[in-house]
Amino acid sequence: MDQAKIRNVAIIAHVDHGKTTLVDKLFEQSGMFSAHGGSTERLMDSMDIEQERGITITSKSGGFRYNDFYINIIDTPGHADFGGQVERVLKMACGAILVVDAQEGPMPQTFFVLKKALALDIPIIVAINKIDKPAARPEWVLDQVFDLFVKLEAPDDILDFPVVYVSAKEGYALRDPEDEARDMAPLLEMITEELPPPAGDAHGPFQLLISSLDYSPFLGRLAIGKITNGSVQINDAVVLSRRDGQLEPTRISKIYKFEKNEKIPVEQASCGDIIAVAGMDSVTVGETFTSKENPLPLEPIAIDPPTISMNFIPNDSPFAGQEGTYVTSRHIGDRLRKETLSDVALHVEDLTDRVGFKVSGRGELHLSILIETMRREGYELQVTRPQVIYHTDAAGKVTEPYEEVTIDVSEEFSGVVIDKLNQRKGKMVNMLKMDGGLTRIIFHIPTRGLLGYRSEFMTDTQGMGMMNYVFHEYGPYCGELKNRHNGAMVSMEKNCVSIAYALANLQERGTLFIGAGEKIYAGQIIGENSRSATLKVNPAKGKKLSNVRSSGADDAVVLTQPRRMTLEDCIAWINDDELVEITPENIRLRKMTMSK
């Protein structure tokens, strides 16, 4: 392919602003589905968890032909917890499409991804999406986007960004809001006209910076990146430049290019192509494949450090080993280290005081997705409460991570939200009136203050609020912070089955997490106490019967529907002396020290 006819484009945006749907429509416009008689919705969201949650978790590459051009599309996550994915894959892009909701405007993650794109000095097309919304206000959004570019000190040439108005759901793009809607051709034409081809010398020494990893059951690890110089063929002898500068010889055994969301084997590739190569199982993100005769390593990818850590330990509950396939610390350690090879924002260390691992990541969602993935693969483990990672500044003072939280909520709920965030040591920095009776509140709050708040926020706003956050900075330690004010109901009965009669009495003391007929062990948390103290209970206590009093003499027991906790709910709920037990079949809460 002629290098001048290649366009490598990253799609960046805040979560749920329509990136993946936009990619689907670009694929459709290229005609790639004509032979199949239709398209697949959210084609790039290939993981089961992505399909279920409707979010992009891992960045992916795809490609298609448009006229004489070949356009490589890089779909990126929109959630702040997966920002490490965005940082590394932007290295492959020669331009970016910034997708912004036509009603909401720029949100916290918009700021984050735009900042990363501007740091690489790549040109940007602004796509104002969802203009078919009844409450769309594209002119206001455009002003807000321009202000964001100015705030991030974008250079003059990038400040003069092209704009396209899009409805990805309906499948059309407009250069001007007054134009007649047709298809996605205006956006595709803008990509070929406004974004440059990849730079580099096709005849120079070979260079390929590894930005992502994949796995093939036949070939092992596949390294994905953009060729920034030279060309490569199958069986070429090259060297791999490690992060420490060490050079290791290897041979390229397979080369793939991306077409649609599939990898297509090819014999060779040249400067500007985004490819996947096989040849070395130990390759990791940030390393460089380069010429053996004239090795020129590229600068490794710098990634923002993690802010949250959790301990992953083997399951030692009375039910340990009954439901999982991989249960030992060796199994868990091997799986975690495998994950770090593809997720550069994840750090894993061995614990020194017990068997297990300290796993550090970008946020609760980042780590909970990893736990859920392991659970579905058959792993059984326990995790501790998330802890923030403290730093010490030059003056010797302890600092902790702070988040910028943006909340859109009805005016009637703004008071309780502000009060709760103030209790969690948050500081309000802005408050704006929005259309439709909404208020936008912006807080700077310690990361610790957000742990466990989301479910409380949804309750306070009757499920109608929107909360987004992004890492802000490391700031001064704000002192002790207590997020949970209720104690736990803990079973004191060993290996029993819960009985409706006992639960009916217990539900008056708090909120139950279990129903009748469930297996329970001593030390397992079965509910939340309405008071702050820990309450030891017997969920298996039955009614005493005699020849005077029969089982049918009383009214039938009526149980309130238990509060079923998701994995994220459990992680956010527990205290320092509690654990979440995760198996392929169940998620349980327990005390760290078991009752004897």
d(CA 49, CA 373): 8
pLDDT over 60 at 550, yes or no: no
Position 547 scores a pLDDT of 58
Distance CA(332)–CA(358), nearest Å, equals 12
Partnered with residue 442 across adjacent β-strands are: 406, 430
Q: 256-280 as b/e, with b when 16 or more CB fall inside 10 Å?
A: bbbbbbebeeeeebbbbbbbbbbbb
DSSP string of 208-250, one letter each residue? EEEEEEEEETTTEEEEEEEEEESEEETT-EEEEE-TTS-EEEE
Q: Write down the CATH number for the domain with range 391-476.
A: 3.30.70.240
The pLDDT confidence band at residue 549, using thresholds 50, 70 and 90, is low
DSSP letters spanning 18-70:
SHHHHHHHHHHHTTTTTTTTS--TTTT--SHHHHHHT---S-EEEEEEETTEE
**What pLDDT score does 131 carry?**
92
| pTM reported for the whole predicted model | 0.79
pLDDT grade, residue 427 (50/70/90)? very high
Question: What pLDDT score was predicted for residue 596?
Answer: 43
Specify the pairing of strand 535-537 against strand 488-491: parallel
Segment 91-114 shows an average pLDDT of 88
143, 93, 149: which is closest to 118 by C-alpha? Answer: 149
User: pLDDT of 528-544, one tens digit each?
Assistant: 999 989 999 999 888 77
Local structure of 178: helix, strand or coil? coil
Architecture field, domain 207-291: Beta Barrel (2.40)
Contacts of 387 (CB under 8 A, 6+ apart): 308, 309, 310
Quickly state the pLDDT bin for 35 (edges 50, 70, 90). very low
Q: What is the C-alpha radius of gyration for the chain, rounded to an integer number of angstroms? A: 27
SS3 state of residue 406: strand
Per-residue pLDDT tens over the stretch 448-461: 888 878 878 888 88
Bridge partner residues of 163 (DSSP): 126
Give residue limits of the domains in the chain: 3-194, 207-291, 391-476, 488-564
| d(C-alpha 221, C-alpha 338), whole Å | 11
In this prediction, what percent of the chain has a pLDDT beyond 90? 42
CATH number for the region 488-564 comes to: 2.40.50.250
pLDDT class for 36, splitting at 50, 70, 90?
very low
Residue 543: strand, helix, or coil: coil
112: pLDDT confidence band, cut at 50, 70 and 90? confident
Q: How far apart are CA 466 and CA 470, in angstroms?
A: 14
Intrachain domains 3-194 and 391-476 with the same fold:
no
Query: What is the length of the chain?
Result: 596
> Does 26 have pLDDT greater than 70?
yes
* Mean pLDDT estimate for the chain: 86
End-to-end C-alpha distance for the chain, whole angstroms: 70
For domain 3-194, is the CATH number 3.40.50.300? yes
Span of 165-169, 183-187, 476-480, 542-546 with lowest mean pLDDT:
542-546
Judge whether 26 and 187 are in contact, CB under 8 Å. Answer: yes
Give the pLDDT of residue 59. 74
Q: Which amino acid is at 34?
A: S
Between these two residues, 82 and 65, which has the higher pLDDT value? 65
pLDDT-based confidence at residue 466 (cuts at 50, 70, 90): confident
The band of 314, judged by pLDDT with boundaries at 50, 70 and 90, is very high
Q: Residue 343: which pLDDT band, with cuts at 50, 70 and 90?
A: confident
Task: Read off the pLDDT band of 275 (50, 70, 90).
Answer: very high
